[in-house]
Structure 1
């Protein structure tokens, strides 16, 4: 199923690049991607699979990534001082990305949607469900966490690749992605290096902005624990997490499911911090079932 091609929506001072799949008359599904990952982190075939199941699919680039607005004037935050509690160099909060997301719905004329978020996108989706409950029909949180520092922590190797020095050219950027996913990817599934190289190259060609990624990371690091607020989520919710996620430990997914009333938890054996193609049918089926249950 063909996409609409890249379109753009003005949300306050931010321009968001987005793309749609499927019939606009079908139930809308908004896909929110994670840290340092552009909308193409939701592969075309994954989006088409959702659309073929009878859904209108929207994917987009968050601020500071891909073809959306990059806040270059804000500079790069000092991540080490952020870890130490100094937030003076942090230009925005994760709640601002949640507001961007709601602004995109306004621009598209979508009163409410089924929200699916991965990693940081799961955090954003949770915030949308908490602060804008009338805009959310169902919530799917994938490989994400609650913001409680006691759960979902990366292991030492994952922290190392997360904080590694940024690449300065295309070849190095592609190799950095390969090296990263050898650490945080899914040990129980085939490592598709060719597809990953293609996506990493395309991502570099669309936009390469390490300072923007640092601004996103700073927003994550300074966002308060959402656990108490997640108790308020009243829409049907699905939590998906890999048993072998090195970047966001599975305890983050378990705690998310425990915090949200009547949430369903699907732990995928052998899955890490990515979306292995072999698991797509199960994920798509479960999202489809959740949407049907939500009406």
Structure 2
């Protein structure tokens, strides 16, 4: 499976629901999938929002080795703590006990997690990003170490009609930690 394959799955869902076109908001791996959706099916994407994602491939700014090690550790509890610290600021974690649905499905089998990671790591839309014709909003937390924030500018520079907003003090789950600001940006973008 690849992020391009996942975009085809989105098309199958839209077709099954009888939806000709939609505003698309994808974060992280969903943002990688949304890139392919807008590239391969431009008539199906009215407006595109890409959050905490990257173009992939050699042009992307990748997470550092310490982040990779923290996420790959065999102790599931320690890996989850590391993931939470990548998602949220220390201040937010100290004042919010949960729920934290951004961590994904806790019952996802190991093989599915491996395929998810392989698809995400294999993403590379750089050479075709300039084909995206939809107005595009790129959002990112400035302190995101999971997918470094410099990827937001790369995407905004490569995609025609794109604008980027990097939100200070926020990490990978910017949309959850500061929902009022992120939602306003999205709402304003969709209203135009």
Q: Same fold (TM over 0.5)?
A: yes
Aligned to 2:121: 221
Aligned-pair distance for 1:278?
4.8
Q: Secondary structure at the match of 1:195?
A: coil
Relative to structure 1, is the Cα distance of residues 181 and 233 closer, same or farther in structure 2, using a 3 angstrom cutoff?
same
Distance 1:93 1:107 in 2: 21
Distance 2:140 2:109 in 1: 28
- CA distances 1:106-144 after superposition (whole Å, capped 9, x unpaired): 111111110000111100001100001111010000000
Q: How many residues align?
A: 191
Relative to structure 1, is the Cα distance of residues 193 and 176 closer, same or farther in structure 2, using a 3 angstrom cutoff?
farther
Relative to structure 1, is the Cα distance of residues 201 and 101 closer, same or farther in structure 2, using a 3 angstrom cutoff?
closer
2:142 to 234, 243, 263: 243
Aligned to 1:263: 162
Q: Secondary structure at the match of 2:80?
A: helix
Distance 1:243 1:103 in 2: 34
Aligned to 1:203: 105
Map 1:264-279; keep pairs closer than 5 Å: 264-275=163-174, 277-279=176-178
Aligned-pair distance for 1:245?
0.8
Larger radius of gyration: 1
Distance 1:258 1:251 in 2: 11
- CA distances 1:91-119 after superposition (whole Å, capped 9, x unpaired): x2221111001111111111111000011
Relative to structure 1, is the Cα distance of residues 286 and 265 closer, same or farther in structure 2, using a 3 angstrom cutoff?
same
Structure 1: segments with no counterpart, 5+ residues? 1-91
Aligned to 1:187: 89
Structure 2: segments with no counterpart, 5+ residues? none
Which fold has the larger relative contact order, with Cα–Cα distance below 8 Å and residues 6 or more apart in sequence?
2
Contact kept, 8 Å, 1:189 with 1:271, in 2: the verdict is no
Contact kept, 8 Å, 1:187 with 1:272, in 2: the verdict is yes
Distance 1:195 1:276 in 2: 15
Normalising by structure 1, we get a TM-score of: 0.59
- CA distances 1:171-197 after superposition (whole Å, capped 9, x unpaired): x4xx64233212x1333751155214x
CA RMSD of aligned residues (A): 2.2
Which of structure 1's runs of 4+ aligned residues deviate more than 4 A?
A: none
Task: Considering fraction of residues, name the structure with more helix.
Answer: 2
